[in-house]
């Protein structure tokens, strides 16, 4: 007679009509709590490692940007001002997202992230240039993304000087530099400090650590055969998964305490929103990342494989595909989809919006909704595919 196999499915709860046993759910949560608190390495990974990584990585990154979305407020409305705008946008470096009628239209577009900067051409600019007098063009920059903001100003100054050179008569020896001057106004991050922009964005990356810890805990029990003991109990899949989820969700929220201390006290990043808003968007982020972690770990058999998969699929792409360093690549539907599926893409916008722009939950409802959809779908799929097997 061949070797008997006993297989028990944790997940057929929806079809049976059985109610979740809250006592068993919290028993799993209590077990995970004791496991984390008694294992210094796990406690370090979940609570301390995110803040440590934040402090280390915040000094590292700086990259060039070669394409900017801008809006234009042309108050001069002359042939020369139109030539200036055409000269700026001719090679595609500056993409004109909209032409505005009033100065008050700038802030909603910058807050919504539809433009990196606004170019304001005041009345009388053409008259001053034609009279060979200095004229000023204002650049209103979204300082939340410091890399893009600095590059916008640099490119605008360079192109304005080149445009001034084109206005000089042939053979003229007059100095073109300074004829058309650029005045910078940076909103949300007036000094355009890279740390102010990078620290809130990096929180999305370092908060992958609790999800990694959850995946490793799940993989460890599969690898060590701990499911054998659970198979003899009435424990069901929804209780097991949400019991684990509850514990790591609590420790993940706890990890925000040292992160906030590092952000506010060490890096002096302003928190213009409320702690409640920040906690709410962080909770949504954890729901999405934990759902993806649980879904992924169902298909791996060891802790090493789980760690490698989490690092390659979530950790590394979160640096380069989420808008943390460079604007998200929307040049193709595939890249747009990949970036959109990464929870960090949406949390970067949320964290920067709460820290630097002071946006409330209503203004951030779009990214929040996407995170909740990702979390709901992945947690549901995790329950559907999760089984405990004993040979």
Task: Delimit the domains of the chain by residue range.
Answer: 6-38+195-390, 68-192
pLDDT reported for residue 247: 92
pLDDT reported for residue 4: 45
| pLDDT band for position 391 (cuts 50, 70, 90) | very low
**Helix (H, G, I), strand (E, B), or coil: what is residue 18?**
coil
More confident residue, 318 or 282: 282
Which stretch, 117-131, 254-268, 288-302, has highest mean pLDDT?
254-268
More confident residue, 15 or 345: 345
> Which CATH number among 3.40.50.261, 3.30.2350.10, 3.40.1710.10, 3.30.200.20 corresponds to the domain 68-192?
3.40.1710.10
pLDDT reported for residue 165: 75
| pLDDT band for position 62 (cuts 50, 70, 90) | very low
Residue pair 185/138 in contact by the 8 Å Cβ criterion: yes
The whole-number average pLDDT for the span 54-60 is 62
Q: Which two tokens stand for residue 390?
A: 């004993």
In sequence order, which ranges of the chain are alpha helices (DSSP H)?
Answer: 13-16, 22-38, 40-43, 49-57, 79-89, 106-111, 125-130, 146-167, 194-206, 208-224, 227-231, 237-261, 275-297, 303-310, 317-320, 333-341, 343-352, 365-385
Which stretch of 31-35, 41-45, 92-96, 290-294 has the lowest confidence by average pLDDT? 41-45
| pLDDT band for position 154 (cuts 50, 70, 90) | confident
Q: What is the pTM of this model?
A: 0.71
The whole-number average pLDDT for the span 128-148 is 80
Given a cut of 90, whether residue 347 has pLDDT beyond it is: yes
The whole-number average pLDDT for the span 287-313 is 85
> Burial code of 270-289, b = ≥16 C-beta within 10 A, e = fewer?
ebebeeebbebbbbbbbbbb
């Amino acid at each position: 007679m061949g070797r008997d196999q006993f297989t028990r499915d944790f997940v057929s709860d929806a079809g049976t009509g059985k109610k979740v046993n809250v006592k068993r759910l919290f028993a799993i949560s209590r077990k995970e709590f004791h496991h984390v608190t008694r294992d210094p390495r796990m406690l370090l990974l979940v609570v301390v490692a995110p803040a440590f990584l934040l402090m280390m990585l915040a000094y590292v990154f700086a990259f060039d940007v070669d394409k900017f979305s801008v809006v234009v407020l042309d108050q001069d409305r002359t042939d020369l001002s139109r030539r200036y705008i055409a000269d700026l946008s001719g090679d595609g470096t500056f993409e004109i997202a909209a032409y505005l009628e009033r100065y008050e239209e700038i802030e909603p577009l910058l807050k919504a992230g539809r433009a990196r900067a606004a170019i304001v051409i005041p009345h009388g600019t053409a008259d001053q240039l034609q009279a060979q007098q200095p004229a000023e063009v204002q650049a209103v920059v979204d300082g939340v993304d410091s890399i893009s903001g600095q590059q916008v100003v640099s490119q605008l100054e360079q192109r304005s000087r080149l445009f001034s050179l084109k206005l000089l008569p042939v053979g003229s020896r007059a100095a073109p530099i300074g004829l058309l001057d650029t005045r910078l106004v940076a909103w949300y991050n007036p000094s355009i400090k890279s740390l102010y922009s990078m620290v809130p964005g990096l929180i999305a990356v370092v908060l992958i650590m609790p999800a990694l810890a959850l995946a490793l805990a799940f993989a460890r029990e599969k690898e060590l055969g701990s499911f054998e003991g659970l198979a003899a109990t009435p424990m069901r899949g929804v209780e097991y998964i949400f019991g684990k989820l509850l514990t790591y969700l609590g420790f993940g929220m706890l990890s925000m305490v040292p992160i906030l201390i590092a952000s506010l006290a060490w890096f002096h990043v302003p928190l213009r929103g409320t702690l409640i808003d920040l906690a709410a968007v962080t909770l949504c982020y954890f729901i999405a990342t934990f759902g993806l972690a649980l879904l992924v770990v169902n298909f791996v058999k060891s802790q090493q494989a789980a760690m490698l998969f989490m690092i390659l699929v979530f950790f590394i792409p979160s640096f380069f595909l989420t808008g943390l360093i460079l604007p998200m690549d929307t040049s193709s539907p595939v890249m747009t989809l990949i970036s959109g599926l990464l929870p960090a893409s949406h949390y970067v916008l949320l964290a920067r919006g709460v820290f630097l722009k002071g946006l409330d939950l209503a203004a951030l409802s779009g990214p929040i909704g996407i995170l909740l959809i990702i979390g709901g779908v992945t947690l549901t799929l995790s329950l559907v595919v999760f089984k405990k097997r004993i040979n």
